[in-house]
Each structure stands twice: as C-alpha cells, then as structure tokens.
C-alpha cells in the first residue's frame, strides 16, 4: 500500500481502487477489508442450510410414499395385490382400536347378585317351600322335582312380595330331580345356563335361594368337585359339589359363577354328624339336555329303576317307622311308670317324652329323618340293623 501525506490522498486512492475492482468483478482484497467494517454474511449461510435440509426431508418423505411396505398378516390378514396397506405409526393412540367390552366379562359379585336376584323365586306348595330361577324371557322356571312333588300348579314369589301362579309343564323321574314351570309374561328377567364343561375346581361360586322361606338369601363358596357321580345313578347325571352353605329351602336355587351364569341347580346335601360343606347341584348341562328333551332315554330307564327302588325304599321306611313307634310306646310306658312311682316329677316326665318325640338336630321332622335312614340303607352307607339301632338309641334314658 502506498504512503499518503494526508487524508485526501488516501480517499482519492481508495476511490480509484474500488472502481478498478468493480470493473474486474473481483472481491475486495484483504487489505481493503481491514480498513472498513466487515459485512454480515452469516444470514446467507443460514438460508442455504435451511434449503438443503428441506430438500433432504422432502426426499425422505417421497421415498416413504413410493415404497410398498409388507402387510402385517397378524392384523390385516391376506389381501389382494391392489390393496394399499399402511402401518399405523407408533405415536397413534391405540385406545380407539380396542375391542368392545364383552357382555359376559366378569363383574363384581355385588353386581352379579343384584342382577341375579331378579330372576330367583320362592316356590310355595301345601307341603313345603323351595327355590327356582327363570331361564327365558317368556317365563320358563327351573326347580327340583321334589319341590313341586306331583302338583300341576304352584305359587311363585318374586322379590319376597309379588306372587304369581306357575304351571308345572315337565318333571323328571327320580333320580333326575328337575322340573320345569311356566309363568305368564314375555319380558322376564332371566339367567343364562353356563357350559358346565368349563367348570373349574376351586372357582368361586354364589348360591341364591330361600332357605326356611327366607327369600333372596345369598351364600358364597367354591366348587369342590366338577364331575361328581352318585352311586347307582345314571352316568349322564352329574353333580357339582360345593361348600357354599345351603339349607332346606335352597333346593332348586341357582349356583352362579363369576359371570352371573347358572353352573348348577342346588339339589341335595349330605346330612350326617360331623359332615360340613357336602352340598350338590345338578350340572347346568344336564338341565339343558332335560329342557331340550335329550334326557328322555334316561328317564325311561330311570322310571323302571325308580319304581323298583321306590318299592324297596317304602319297605325300609315302613320298617323303620314301625321300630320308632314301638320304641316310643315302650319309652312312654317306662316314663309313665317312673312318674307313678315318684321317681321323677310329672313336669320332667313330660319334658322327656317331648324330647324323645322330636327329630334329631338339623332335621325338620321324624319322617324326614327316617326317610334319610332308609335312603342310606339303599345306598349301602349303613346296614339295616345299624339304622334300626340308631332309632332305638334315640330313646335311651
């Protein structure tokens, strides 16, 4: 750079230099740049960087659109060659893709019971009371045969208050302890019959019924055995054993699973000193077959068998009843003699006679107790002499 004597010489040289550079279309030299403020060129660089990024993103997006992804067979199944299959991105909210909740999904037990109660009825007859449940909107009711006996019409009570007459349209032959009733109406609340083949031992169950005529009584237990068959009964008749507490009057009531379906119908229990939780329900599949007329062959055989067993039962029952009457007469005479001699007071003698005439604990009548003894003889649980000994021992002083 030349030396200048004053400021004017510098300005003149600078102007000539700029004109020369402009005419040659070249950049200003580094020396000139040092003499004037630097230019801000970073904005231009940023613009170019953004342009490059936009082009790069557009290229990636274009490649995604033009490629054909493979179908996800687990979701879409097989499709034709012309189908366009686009996988959902990970960020999509998958909650809207869930299946609707099944109507048979497990509910709380409180919900199950509140709904089921609407379909469980108390059955009244001149002889006794029992339970039943509706299985169709048109008012078909299932109960035990021994609840309705040989009647053609019974009274059913809903919600402990509303009473209605029901016709007995079909009854099984013992040991097929099932009866079908019918009430008027086409919009009844009803319970579904479960598939008892899906029974699981240890599964929670609920029993609803009217023990001792106390409507809507609920007890809880588990399934103890899914496929119990009784001695000398037919192979097609299976029972579900449960420890849910049941009492006289529960007969004919439903045993419910967690879905509110009927897995069995409460039918009988073993009453014996020291035994607890031995309760049995006819499996729901047996009920379905009976309702659909698929147990007719069994009933023909059952009828013949029942007639023979009924005759044998009557013989055993009559023999036990005669023993009881003879023992009671002898006991009465013995108590009367003791009162006459002054060994005991009249009041105490009366108490002894009343106690001897009463049935054992847990049994409603002497006749029921004697009948249970007769059945135990027929099932081979006790001998005939052992049964008569039990009757005699009940009058021991």
Catalytic residue ranges: 146, 177, 251
CA distance 271 to 274: 9
- The residue written with tokens 């023993």 in the block is 323
Which structure tokens are listed for 296? 């007719």
Run of H or E including 157: strand 153-158
Which structure tokens are listed for 94? 């998958």
Are 278 and 245 in contact by the 8 Å Cβ rule? The answer is no
Smallest CA-to-CA distance from 206 within 301, 122, 279 is with 279
Which structure tokens are listed for 240? 């579900």
Strand 204-209 relative to strand 217-228: parallel, antiparallel, unpaired? Answer: antiparallel
DSSP H stretches of helix in the chain: 7-24, 30-35, 42-66, 73-76, 109-116, 145-148, 284-291, 296-341, 346-357, 366-378, 384-393
- The residue written with tokens 């929670």 in the block is 204
Which structure tokens are listed for 204? 């929670």
Measured at the CA of 373, the angle between CA 321 and CA 354, to 5 degrees, comes to: 55
CA distance 353 to 345: 12
Smallest CA-to-CA distance from 336 within 358, 322, 352, 359 is with 352
Q: How many residues does the chain have?
A: 397
Are 180 and 140 in contact by the 8 Å Cβ rule? The answer is yes
Which structure tokens are listed for 255? 């045993």
CA distance 230 to 223: 17
């Amino acid at each position: 750079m030349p030396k200048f004597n004053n400021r004017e010489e510098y300005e003149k040289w600078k102007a000539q230099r700029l004109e020369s550079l402009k005419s040659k279309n070249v950049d200003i030299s580094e020396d000139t740049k040092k003499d004037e403020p630097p230019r801000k060129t970073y904005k231009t660089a940023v613009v170019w960087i953004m342009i490059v990024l936009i082009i790069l993103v557009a290229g990636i997006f274009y490649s995604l659109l033009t490629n054909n992804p493979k179908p996800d067979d687990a979701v879409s199944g097989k499709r034709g060659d012309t189908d366009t299959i686009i996988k959902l991105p990970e960020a999509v909210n998958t909650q809207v893709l869930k299946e609707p909740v099944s109507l048979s999904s497990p509910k709380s037990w409180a919900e199950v019971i509140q709904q089921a109660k609407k379909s469980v009825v108390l059955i009244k007859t001149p002889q006794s009371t029992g339970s039943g449940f509706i299985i169709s909107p048109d008012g078909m009711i299932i109960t035990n045969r021994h609840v309705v006996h040989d009647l053609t019409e019974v009274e059913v009570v809903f919600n402990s208050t509303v009473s209605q007459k029901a016709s007995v349209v079909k009854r099984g032959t013992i040991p097929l302890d099932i009866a079908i009733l019918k009430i008027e109406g086409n919009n009844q609340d009803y319970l579904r019959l479960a598939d008892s083949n899906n029974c699981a031992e240890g599964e929670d169950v609920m029993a609803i019924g009217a023990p001792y005529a106390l409507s809507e009584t609920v007890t809880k237990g588990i399934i103890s055995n899914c496929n119990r068959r009784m001695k000398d009964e037919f192979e097609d008749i299976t029972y579900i054993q449960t420890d849910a507490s049941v009492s006289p009057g529960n007969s004919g009531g439903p045993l419910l699973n967690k879905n509110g379906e009927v897995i069995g119908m409460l039918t009988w229990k073993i009453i014996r000193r020291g035994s607890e939780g031995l309760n049995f329900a006819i499996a729901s599949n047996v009920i379905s077959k009976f309702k659909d007329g698929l147990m007719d062959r069994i009933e023909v055989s059952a009828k013949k068998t029942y007639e023979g067993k009924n005759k044998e039962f009557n013989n055993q029952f009559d023999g036990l009843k005669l023993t009881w009457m003879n023992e009671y007469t002898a006991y009465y005479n013995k108590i009367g003699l003791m009162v006459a001699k002054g060994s005991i007071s009249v009041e105490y003698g009366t108490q002894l006679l009343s106690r001897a005439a009463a049935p054992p604990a847990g049994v409603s009548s002497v006749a029921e107790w004697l009948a249970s003894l007769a059945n135990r003889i027929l099932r081979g649980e006790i001998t005939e002499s052992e049964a008569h000994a039990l009757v005699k021992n009940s009058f021991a002083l």
